[in-house]
Structures are given as C-alpha cells and as structure tokens.
Amino acid sequence: MAGRRTQDITIWDEESDRGANVLYDDENDVNRLAVDALTSSIDFQKVGLGLLFNVNAHEPLLAKSKEMSVIIQTGSLDVHMTWSYYLALQGYFRFIEGATYVPTAVALTPYNRNRQSLNTALTTFLQGDELNYTGGTIIVDGDFGANGGIKSAGGGTSAEVWILKRNTTYVLTLGSDTPSNKSIINIIFYEVDLSA
C-alpha cells in the first residue's frame, strides 16, 4: 500500500541488559508489532504500547466430575499466548484445538495490562462451568493429585508461547476429581497480524 513504512528496530531494556528485534509498521501500530523472542524487555514494551492482555477465570467450588473451561475463539489475527492454572485438589488439565463450543458460556473480559490504553482485544473468551464444548484435538493433557490419601494437586504453566491458528476454537479446561475444588486459569496474550 502507498504510504506504508516498515522498520526493523531493536528495543533494549537497560535494566535487564536485554533486547530483541522488532518489525514495526506505522500504518497500524497496534496490531502489526512482531517480535523474534518473548523476553521480559519485549513484554514490558508491549505493555507500554497497550498490546498485552490478561484473561482470568475462577471457580472457587468446582464440583466433582465437573469442568471449568475457558473457550478461546480466534479471529483474523495471530494470537500469541501463555497460560497458568491451579487446582487445589485432585483433577486434570487439557488444552484442546478445534473444539465446538456451546454459546451459553459466559463472556470473559480481556483486560489491557496498560490501564491507560484504550486498545481492546479482538479474540473472544468464554467461561463454561460445565462441559460446554465437544470434539477437537487434545494437544496437552495432564492429571494431578493422588488416587488415595491426601488428594492434593497444584498447578502449571506453559513454559513457551503458543501461537494459535486463526479462526479456530480452543479450550483450556480444568476438571475436578473431588468435591469443592478451587480452580483458576490465567491467560496472557497479544494479537498481531503477520500475514503481510
């Protein structure tokens, strides 16, 4: 397009003495920021530009044999995402791609981590406290806790960034094997257009 200018620059964080290359497009500076590594310095930069978002789902008393799910519907942008989760008692975690969701789930609000920014996320997030999805491919699957004795569990996190497919439904779900199981899913993400 006429008038479009792109520039390959390096962002450097003096405090951590780290940097990374950034492709910057001044025609759409909100959705056309790509980084070659997810470092703390770049996270700080994305927060400053109003590009980094947080979504949280919480169920304090998840019943036995029930699930709390975060349903993610991507659109026309690339979504770069990490997550963390917690279960107080015995249960399981799954990350599913290509599922079909039931639209009665409750909408979750992605919060911009720069509270002064007016930027909003285009990706849709829903929370379902029942089995609000069907089908799909389980990409990550894990069980937590013991079958006997003290049924303690814990949590986990994605050690690396996941880049999600466009126009695809994903599900992050926690299932409970015990009554009154406290469950939390936290997602940090940003959106970028890398198609051009």
The CATH number given to whatever domain includes residue 130 is: 2.60.120
pLDDT score for 171: 93
Which portions of the chain are predicted below pLDDT 50?
Answer: 1-41, 148-150
Eight-state DSSP code of residue 167: T
What does the pLDDT look like over 50-83, one tens digit per residue? Answer: 888 999 998 888 888 888 889 999 999 999 999 8
Q: Are residues 157 and 183 in the same domain?
A: yes
pLDDT at 39: 41
pLDDT of residue 50: 81
pLDDT for position 150: 47
pLDDT value, residue 35: 37
149 and 65 in a single domain? The answer is yes
Total tally of structural domains belonging to the chain: 2
Of 118, 103, 115, 174, the C-alpha closest to 145 is 174
Whether 7 and 64 share a structural domain: no
The whole-number pLDDT of residue 43 equals: 67
Same domain membership, residue 32 and residue 109: no
The domain of 59 spans: 55-192
pLDDT for res 64:
86
How many helices and strands in the chain, by DSSP H and E? 1, 17
pLDDT in tens, 84-102: 888 888 888 899 999 887 7
pTM of the model: 0.72
Same domain assignment for residues 31 and 110: no
Q: Return d(Cα 8, Cα 21) in angstroms, integer.
A: 7
Do both 18 and 68 map to the same domain?
no
**146 and 86 both lie in a single domain:** yes
Q: Do residues 138 and 63 both lie within one domain?
A: yes
- For residues 118 and 33, membership in a common domain is answered with no
CB 52 within 8 Å of CB 162: no
Residue located via tokens 């995402």: 81
Inter-residue contact 102 to 82 (CB < 8 Å): no
